Chain A
Amino acid sequence: MTLQEFYAQIGGSYADTVRRLCSESFVLRFVKKYPANPSFDELCEAVDRSDWESAFRAAHTLKGVAQNLGFDRLYAVRWIWMRYMPQWD
Chain B
Amino acid sequence: MIPEKQKILIVDDSEMNRAILTGILDDGYDFLEAENGLQALDVLRAHRDISLVLLDIVMPELDGFGVLSVMGEQHWIDQTPVIMISAESDSMLVERAYQLGATDYISRPFDKSVVRRRVMNTLMLYGKQKHLMRMITEQVYRREKSNRLMTGILSHIVEFRNAESGPHVQHIQTVSELLLRQLARKTDRYALTEDDIALISTASALHDIGKISIPDSILNKPGKLTAEEFEVVKTHAAVGASILQNLPMTQDEPLIQVAYQICRWHHERYDGHGYPDGLVGDQIPITAQVVSLADVYDALTGERCYKKAYPHETAVRMIQNGECGVFNPLLIECLLDIQDQLQREIGTPPEARNFSLAAQRISDHMVREDDLPFENNLQYRLAYEREKQTFFAPFAGGLQFDYNIRQDRASVSDYTADPVCENRTFTAEELLRLYAVSPEDSRRLRDAAKQTTPESPDASISATVTVRGEKTLCRIAIRTLWSRESIRRIIGVVGYVVPIGTDHSAAPALSLRMNNITGLRARTILQELQLYFDKVRLVTPEDHGVYKLNEDGSLKRRERPCYAIWGAEQVCRNCAGCKALSDKNRVVKLELTKTGIYQVIAKSVVVEGRPFVLELISRSDVGIWFDSHGKKILLEKYGRDFYTDALTGAYCRQYFEDQRASLQGEDGVAMIDVDHFKEINDAYGHPVGDVALKKIVGAILSCIRSTDMLIRYGGDEFLVIFPQIQKDAFTLKMRYIQDVVSRLAVDGYPDIRLSVSIGGVHRVEPLTEAIRQADQLMYRDKANKGVLRL
Contact yes or no, B112 A22, CB < 8 A: yes
Known: A21-B24, A57-B58. A65 touches B16 (CB 8 A): yes
Binary A-proximity of B10-23 (CB < 8 A = 1, otherwise 0) = 00011111011001
28 CB contacts below 8 A, A to B, read: A20-B109, A20-B110, A20-B111, A20-B112, A21-B24, A22-B112, A29-B23, A33-B16, A33-B19, A37-B14, A37-B15, A39-B14, A57-B13, A60-B87, A61-B13, A61-B14, A63-B87, A64-B14, A64-B17, A64-B56, A64-B108, A65-B14, A65-B16, A65-B17, A67-B108, A68-B16, A68-B17, A70-B109
Q: Across the interface, which residues of B come within 8 angstroms of A69, CB to CB?
A: 109
Q: Quick check: is A81 within 8 A (CB to CB) of the other chain? A: no
A39 to B20: give the CA distance in the assembly, Å: 16
Q: Quick check: is B784 within 8 A (CB to CB) of the other chain? A: no
Q: Across the interface, which residues of A come within 8 angstroms of B13, CB to CB?
A: 57, 61
Q: Quick check: is A26 within 8 A (CB to CB) of the other chain? A: yes
Q: Quick check: is B254 within 8 A (CB to CB) of the other chain? A: no
Q: Quick check: is B60 within 8 A (CB to CB) of the other chain? A: yes
Partner of B20, one of A38, A60, A63, A68: A68
Binary A-proximity of B95-115 (CB < 8 A = 1, otherwise 0) = 000000000000011111100
Binary B-proximity of A5-49 (CB < 8 A = 1, otherwise 0) = 000000000000100111000100110011001110000000000
Q: Which of A43-89 contact B (CB under 8 A)?
A: 54, 57, 60-61, 63-65, 67-70
A37 to B18: give the CA distance in the assembly, Å: 12
Q: Across the interface, which residues of A come within 8 angstroms of B56, CB to CB?
A: 64
Partner of A21, one of B16, B19, B112: B112
Q: Across the interface, which residues of B come within 8 angstroms of A60, CB to CB?
A: 58, 87
Q: Across the interface, which residues of B come within 8 angstroms of A54, CB to CB?
A: 60
- Nearest A-chain residue to B107, judged by Cβ: A67
Known: A60-B87, A63-B87. A21 touches B110 (CB 8 A): yes
Q: Across the interface, which residues of A come within 8 angstroms of B110, CB to CB?
A: 20-21, 68
A48 to B784: give the CA distance in the assembly, Å: 53
Contact yes or no, A26 B23, CB < 8 A: yes
Other A-B pairs, 8, CB within 8 Å; known A30-B23, A68-B17, A70-B109: A17-B109, A33-B16, A33-B19, A37-B15, A60-B87, A64-B17, A65-B14, A67-B109
Residue of A34, A64, A70 contacting most chain B CB atoms (<10 Å): A64
Contact yes or no, A57 B112, CB < 8 A: no
Number of interface residues of A (CB under 8 A): 23
Q: Across the interface, which residues of A come within 8 angstroms of B14, CB to CB?
A: 37, 39, 61, 64-65
Contact yes or no, B111 A30, CB < 8 A: no
A60 to B112: give the CA distance in the assembly, Å: 22
A57 to B24: give the CA distance in the assembly, Å: 24
A73 to B707: give the CA distance in the assembly, Å: 44
Known: A65-B17, A67-B108. A57 touches B60 (CB 8 A): yes
Residue of B15, B20, B56, B110 contacting most chain A CB atoms (<10 Å): B20
Main SS at interface, chain A: helix
Q: Across the interface, which residues of A come within 8 angstroms of B17, CB to CB?
A: 61, 64-65, 68
Q: Which of B68-117 contact A (CB under 8 A)?
A: 87, 108-113
- Nearest B-chain residue to A64, judged by Cβ: B87
Q: Across the interface, which residues of A come within 8 angstroms of B108, CB to CB?
A: 64, 67-68
Q: Across the interface, which residues of B come within 8 angstroms of A39, CB to CB?
A: 14
Q: Across the interface, which residues of A come within 8 angstroms of B87, CB to CB?
A: 60, 63-64, 67
- Nearest B-chain residue to A70, judged by Cβ: B109
A33 to B19: give the CA distance in the assembly, Å: 10
Q: Which of B26-83 contact A (CB under 8 A)?
A: 56, 58-60
Contact yes or no, B112 A34, CB < 8 A: no
Top 5 closest pairs, chain A to chain B, by CB: A61-B14, A22-B112, A20-B111, A65-B16, A67-B108
Q: Across the interface, which residues of B come within 8 angstroms of A61, CB to CB?
A: 13-14, 17
A43 to B666: give the CA distance in the assembly, Å: 43
Task: Give, as a whole number of angstroms, the nearest-CB distance from A65 to chain B.
Answer: 5
- Nearest B-chain residue to A34, judged by Cβ: B16
Q: Across the interface, which residues of B come within 8 angstroms of A29, CB to CB?
A: 23
- Nearest A-chain residue to B116, judged by Cβ: A22
Task: Give, as a whole number of angstroms, the nearest-CB distance from A75 to chain B.
Answer: 9
Contact yes or no, A22 B113, CB < 8 A: yes
Partner of A37, one of B16, B58, B59, B112: B16
Residue of B13, B16, B110 contacting most chain A CB atoms (<10 Å): B16
A40 to B26: give the CA distance in the assembly, Å: 27
- Nearest A-chain residue to B112, judged by Cβ: A22
A75 to B24: give the CA distance in the assembly, Å: 21
Contact yes or no, A30 B58, CB < 8 A: no
Known: A21-B24, A60-B58. A30 touches B16 (CB 8 A): yes
A60 to B24: give the CA distance in the assembly, Å: 22
A21 to B56: give the CA distance in the assembly, Å: 19
Contact yes or no, A68 B58, CB < 8 A: no
Contact yes or no, B60 A30, CB < 8 A: no
- Nearest A-chain residue to B113, judged by Cβ: A22
A21 to B16: give the CA distance in the assembly, Å: 14
Task: Give, as a whole number of angstroms, the nearest-CB distance from A58 to chain B.
Answer: 9
A67 to B88: give the CA distance in the assembly, Å: 10
Task: Give, as a whole number of angstroms, the nearest-CB distance from A44 to chain B.
Answer: 17
Task: Give, as a whole number of angstroms, the nearest-CB distance from A56 to chain B.
Answer: 8
Task: Give, as a whole number of angstroms, the nearest-CB distance from B26 to chain A.
Answer: 10
Task: Give, as a whole number of angstroms, the nearest-CB distance from B493 to chain A.
Answer: 37
Q: Which of B564-581 contact A (CB under 8 A)?
A: none
- Nearest A-chain residue to B111, judged by Cβ: A20
- Nearest A-chain residue to B24, judged by Cβ: A21
A29 to B24: give the CA distance in the assembly, Å: 12
Task: Give, as a whole number of angstroms, the nearest-CB distance from B55 to chain A.
Answer: 13
A87 to B112: give the CA distance in the assembly, Å: 35
A70 to B109: give the CA distance in the assembly, Å: 7
Contact yes or no, A30 B112, CB < 8 A: no
